[in-house]
Amino acid sequence: MSRQNPGLNLKEFLPYRLSTVTNRISASFARLYSEKFNLSIPEWRVMAVLGQQPGLSADEVCSETEMDKVPVSRAVTKLLDKGLLNREFSGRDRRRSILSLSEAGYGMYTQIVPLALAYEAELKAVLTAGEQSQLEKLLDKLMGGHRQ
Amino acid sequence: MSRQNPGLNLKEFLPYRLSTVTNRISASFARLYSEKFNLSIPEWRVMAVLGQQPGLSADEVCSETEMDKVPVSRAVTKLLDKGLLNREFSGRDRRRSILSLSEAGYGMYTQIVPLALAYEAELKAVLTAGEQSQLEKLLDKLMGGHRQ
DNA sequence: TGCAATTAGTTTCATTTGTAACTATACTGT
DNA sequence: ACAGTATAGTTACAAATGAAACTAATTGCA
């Protein structure tokens, strides 16, 4: 049987390339905070968004982080257990949580942020300033063209 | 307590941006072949690489696809069960498998490839030709700067 | 009002995943 | 030749994940 390649080269295939680059980066970044601070990826994401925007509800954390509500709920539970988060419930709508980092959580957050920024800087260091802004733009476009 | 933001904006943070763009793209691409052909992501990846390079061992599939050997082994088992793959073992080294798509597997592969290419084309359509090659270059650089 | 539909969040359950242990084969140096 | 080490691949186990069901509270509107 003759099989001429129908022309899909995995290594040049954009979804594949994006995913391998991203997976490597995510994995090595996750090592940074999981080893030292014993946080899972969802836990770190919840902390990261609450460090910046305290007072969000779990649902708002979902939309901010593009995470599913199940992992968010579980991460919130764990962070509460660890004493890294405070939770109240809205008076107006008692289903709605109001989440923020506790003192301890904020302390941890301020330790992780410099590591995160240093990591990002290291990543970006292989690009020129022009390339960096070009990358921003391209990611915006890809994201925009992909709004579900 | 005064908390001035230590300066991590999640939405502008490169690892986060890469991961959300990529996850969206991977998820919607996966729907394409999982719904119609009932393939998992690892299964599709194994097929994609064997369609292009028949005769690889499981181990070579791992390095080609950057997948762990466990998901590869499981995907291979499933694809064998479904009759989409042929497996022999090397005479020189009887541990080593020699994998290739079966007739049925190749038939499915030739159906998926055009969908994949159309999907990629649609993705790239939001970019100009210049931006497309710029993106290639930037991904190369990020990957290179990140060789583990 | 009151009942259906919606929303926030949690829990259950089945599936997927990765680490580590294991089997079988091959290689290395003496 | 053979003991020790390395490699290909599989399996077992534990943890992470997501879909769907569930609880509780709120909203809409007849």
Give the whole-number percent of chain A exceeding pLDDT 90: 81
Instruction: State the average pLDDT for chain A.
Output: 92
For chain A, what is the domain count? 1
Closest residue to A144, CB basis, from B28, B126, B135: B126
Determine if strand C comes within 7 Å of the CB of B70. Answer: yes
The Cα A47–Cα A79 span in angstroms is: 9
Q: Which of A21, A69, A59, A76 is nearest to B140 (CA)?
A: A21
* B147 compared with B140, residue with greater pLDDT: B140
The amino acid sitting at A136 is: E
pLDDT tens-place string over residues B48-74:
999 999 999 999 999 999 899 999 999
Q: Quote the domain boundaries for residue B102.
A: 13-144
- Indicate whether A133 pLDDT > 80: yes
In a domain, B4, yes or no: no
pLDDT number for residue B2: 67
Q: Within 10 A of A26 (CB to CB), how many other CB atoms are there?
A: 17
| pLDDT tens per residue, range B99-113 | 999 999 999 999 999
CB B119 within 8 A of CB A13: no
Q: Which of residues 116-145 of B touch strand D (CB under 7 A)?
A: none
At residue A21, φ and ψ (nearest 5 deg) are -60, -50
Closest-lying nucleotide for B60 based on CA to C1':
D8
**Residue B79's pLDDT is what?**
97
A132 part of a folded domain: yes
Read off the tokens for B34: 């999982």
The tens digit of pLDDT for each residue in A57-77 reads 999 999 999 999 999 999 999
Answer whether residue B86 shows pLDDT above 80: yes
A27 touches strand D (CB under 7 A): no
Q: Is residue A81 part of a domain?
A: yes
Interface membership of B118 toward A (CB under 8 Å): no
Average pLDDT score over residue span A11-15: 92
Query: Does position B146 have pLDDT exceeding 90, yes or no?
Result: no
The predicted pLDDT at position A35 comes to 84
Q: Is A3 a domain residue?
A: no
Q: Report the 3 state secondary structure along chain A.
A: CCCCCCCCCHHHCHHHHHHHHHHHHHHHHHHHHHHHHCCCHHHHHHHHHHHHCCCECHHHHHHHHCCCHHHHHHHHHHHHHCCCEEEEECCCCCCCEEEEECHHHHHHHHHHHHHHHHHHHHHHCCCCHHHHHHHHHHHHHHHHCCCC
Q: How confident is residue A147, by pLDDT bands cut at 50, 70 and 90?
A: low
pLDDT given for residue B93 in this prediction: 94
- Would you give the DSSP letter of residue B67? -
Q: Evaluate whether residue A99 is within a structural domain.
A: yes
Quick one: CA torsion of A89, A92, A94, A97, rounded to 10 degrees? -30
Using pLDDT thresholds of 50, 70 and 90, give the confidence band for residue A1.
low
Q: Residue B1 pLDDT more than 80? A: no
Helix (H) or strand (E) holding B87: strand B85-89
Q: Considering chain B, what is the average pLDDT of its residues? A: 92
- B14 three-state secondary structure: helix
pLDDT of res. A5:
76
Query: Cβ of B15 and A29 within 8 Å?
Result: yes
Chain A residue at shortest CA distance from B115: A8
The helix/strand count (H/E) of chain B reads as: 6, 2
Task: Give domain status of residue B53, yes or no.
Answer: yes
d(CA B46, CA A144): 30
Q: Is residue A7 part of a domain?
A: no
pLDDT at A2: 66
Rounded-to-integer distance, Cα A12 and Cα A9, Å? 6
Q: Do B127 and A141 touch (CB under 8 A)?
A: yes
Residue tagged 């080593």 (tokens): B96
Whether residue B56 is contained in a domain is answered as: yes
Using the CA of B78, give the nucleotide whose C1' is nearest: D10
Q: What is the CATH number of the domain that holds B80?
A: 1.10.10.10
pLDDT at B134 over 80: yes
